[in-house]
Homo-oligomer: A and B are copies of this chain.
Amino acid sequence: MLSAVCRCQCKMCSAPGSGHCGTGPSCGAPRRRRAAGRPDARGVGEALRLLKAGSGSHSPSVADVERAIPGLVEIDACFLSNPYATDEVMHRLGRVSSQTLERMVSHYPSQGAAIAEVLAPTVGVRPDRLLLANGASEAIQALLARAPGPLVIPLPTFSAYYEFATGPVVALQLRPQDDFRLDFDALDALVDRHPRATVVIINPNNPDGGPVDHGALVDFVRGAASRVHQVIVDESFGAFASEQRPRSLAPLVEELPHLVVVNSLSKSHGIPGLRLGYAVMSPQRARLLRARSLWNLNAFGEWFCGIMADPGYQRAYEQARRRYVREARHLFDGLAELPSVHVYPTAANFALLELDRPAHEVAAALLAHHGIYVRDCADKLGLQGDRYLRVAARRDAENRRILAAFADVLSEPVRRPLTVAA
């Protein structure tokens, strides 16, 4: 894989997992950035530690990092969205007339129920089952705010779920030796022991990217019907599972009113800045939750719901999705070939890496030397030890830089303090 960034084709550069020859300009050995005026890996590590301390259980945003260490981030491999889909959105946003833009900014957006009418055919559900949200996180918070029973949730997982829980949290620990695979028998036993629970399943799961078997999931949701308050299936990363059309549980909601399907559009459509997500649920639940918010979508979110209903955009998006899925697989295959890295099986647009050294040192070195920002998972509940990094796929050229940067940083001997070469 490393030879992908080389044109020298020498033996050293073409051997998988090896270093580079560095003998001339045709060698693709990644060049470390000059340290002039910039903090070294240790300084960057300390800045990241401080930022993290102020960001709770989420990674500091790129804007936060920019404010603390300006000009450092070149590739954001921390956040989890499809850049090719963003291109399609930006292309259309650029064509919005200044008159329309002014109308969008200067007027109140429509209420969620009205916007649901626009988006429902695209999602393939009835509008009264579709709750639009200011990002999936708003829907998650609303679903958990008044849930009567405990929250049953596999760990590790997306922290917002257990943070927004208002009652006790019952965790099902997923094990690295099982590739963090969900054990439905164990989950079912927890549902038996904890009546009226809210069960959360993220498919594919975050931060490991592991897929959940569709048939087993459907069986579990059906079987839990009379025993749970609700089963939330979060499909925010479902678009990245394969090039085939994503398989959603949303149509099942009509038959199973205790099922709620959550989806973030931030990841699949590359629009985290617009804050747009949705949840499919029974009309009764949707009515209750709608009554608790007002003008919760912004004008750009409303505009994008219109775009999603456009067949031209749908075709372009589908192409962007497939291309991204292909290239992401390529990145993860490349990472898996690196020595001193174990990559867990992933059906998402990111991979969980287990390293042979402290993850925060590798994260700091990637940022200091290569401008690459990755997610240090040290704070993730359910991931033991300081050896896990989550790496998101970006554009193909960026993926190559990510790969080369990892190869460079991991070529340092373990335990030697990482410093910038003078």
Interface residues of A, Cβ cutoff 8 Å to B: 54-56, 58, 61-64, 67, 76, 79, 81, 83, 86, 89-90, 93-94, 98, 101-111, 113-114, 134-135, 137-138, 141, 145, 160, 163-164, 266, 270-275, 291-302
Q: Are A83 and B106 in contact (CB under 8 A)?
A: yes
Are the CB atoms of A273 and B54 closer together than 8 Å? Answer: no
CA distance A93 to B96 in the complex (A): 13
Q: How far is the CB of A202 from chain B (nearest CB, A)?
A: 15
Cα-based distance from A89 to B160 in the complex (angstroms): 33
User: A134 is contacted by which of B102, B291, B296 (Cβ under 8 Å)?
Assistant: B296
Copies in the complex: 2
- Do B63 and A110 have beta carbons less than 8 Å apart? yes
CB of A93 within 8 A of CB of B89, answer no
13 more A-B residue pairs beyond the given contacts A83-B106, A163-B291, A298-B301, with a C-beta to C-beta distance below 8 A: A63-B109, A76-B107, A86-B102, A86-B105, A90-B102, A105-B271, A106-B272, A106-B273, A108-B272, A134-B138, A141-B293, A145-B292, A298-B298
Query: What is the minimal beta-carbon distance from A163 to any residue of chain B, in angstroms?
Result: 7
| Structural contact, A300 and B302, CB atoms closer than 8 A | no
7 cross-chain pairs, A with B, having the tightest CB-CB distances, nearest first? A273-B299, A137-B294, A86-B106, A108-B272, A275-B298, A105-B273, A63-B110
Contacts of A62 in B (CB 8 A): 103, 107-108
Q: A94 near B98 (CB under 8 angstroms)?
A: yes
By the criterion CB–CB under 8 Å, are B101 and A90 in contact?
Answer: yes
A273→B79 contact, CB < 8 A: no
What chain B residues lie within 8 Å of A270 (beta carbons)?
A: 105-106
List, sorted by A's number, 21 A–B pairs whose CB atoms are closer than 8 Å: A61-B108, A61-B110, A62-B103, A64-B110, A64-B111, A90-B98, A90-B102, A106-B272, A108-B266, A109-B273, A134-B275, A134-B296, A134-B298, A137-B294, A141-B292, A141-B294, A145-B292, A273-B298, A275-B295, A275-B298, A300-B300
Bound together, the chains give a CA A79 to CA B301 distance in angstroms of 20
Please, how many angstroms separate the alpha-carbon atoms of A179 and B301 in the complex? 40
Residue of B nearest to A299 (CB): B273
Docked CA distance A301–B271 (Å):
15
Check B294 against A55 for contact (C-beta < 8 Å).
no
Whether the pair A105, B76 counts as a contact (CB closer than 8 A) is no
Given A98-B90, A134-B134: A106 in contact with B291 (beta carbons within 8 A): no
Please, which residues of chain B bring their CB within 8 A of the CB of A135? 294-296
Min distance, Cβ A251 to any Cβ of chain B, angstroms: 26
A79 touches B108 (CB 8 A): yes
Report the separation of the CA atoms of residues A292 and B113 in the bound assembly, to the nearest whole angstrom: 23
Q: Which residues of B contact A94 (CB under 8 A)?
A: 98
Alpha-carbon distance between A141 and B296 when the two chains are bound, in angstroms: 11
Q: Are B160 and A58 in contact (CB under 8 A)?
A: no
Chain B residues near A291 (CB-CB < 8 A): 163
> With A114-B61, A114-B63 in contact, is A294–B105 under 8 Å at CB?
no
Chain B positions within 8 Å of A301 at CB level: 298
Task: Please state if B109 and A61 are interface contacts (CB–CB under 8 Å).
Answer: yes
Measured between alpha carbons, how far is A270 from B105 in the docked complex, in Å? 8
Q: Is the CB–CB distance between B298 and A111 below 8 Å?
A: no
Cβ-defined contact, A292 with B164, below 8 A: yes
> How far, in whole Å, are A271 and B83 apart by their CA atoms in the complex?
28
A104 touches B273 (CB 8 A): yes
Whole-angstrom CA separation of A62 from B67 in the bound complex = 38
Q: Roughly how many angstroms separate A330 CA and B98 CA in the complex, as a whole number?
A: 29
CB nearest neighbor in B for A270:
B106
B residues near A98, Cβ cutoff 8 Å: 90, 94
Given contacts A90-B101, A106-B270, contact A63 B145 (CB under 8 A): no
Least Cβ distance of A297 to chain B in Å?
8
